[in-house]
Amino acid sequence: MTITKTINGNEAVLFFDGWLDTQAAPEMRAQIDALGEDITSIVIDFEKLEYISSSGIREVVAAYKKVDGRLKVLNASPGIMSIFKATGIDRKISFE
């Protein structure tokens, strides 16, 4: 798993490549925890994400909570999107 982070003003953009599983989830947590208080929104780009586990979903929800719901997920594949739909998270988080 590779996570690339860019900051655009008050917005953090995280690009994921690989698997967001139990082994990679702590890296995502560290990236989210390292964001300063000035970050008010997060964009997560899953264009190159191949797989997400329940640990990864938990970290997406933690990111959502960190910015009081101002989180957007881009480019989720149909397979990954089906997981978010099955959990009902797609009704809270913005997906594009």
Regarding pTM above 0.75, the answer is yes
Dmax (CA) for the chain in angstroms is 34
Domain ranges of the chain: 2-95
Place 51 in a pLDDT band, splitting at 50, 70 and 90.
Answer: very high
What does the alpha-carbon distance between residue 9 and residue 72 come to, in Å, rounded to a whole number? 16
Taking only the tens place, the pLDDT of each residue in 14-34 is 999 999 999 999 999 999 999
What does the alpha-carbon distance between residue 70 and residue 13 come to, in Å, rounded to a whole number? 12
Give the architecture-level CATH label for domain 2-95. 2-Layer Sandwich (3.30)
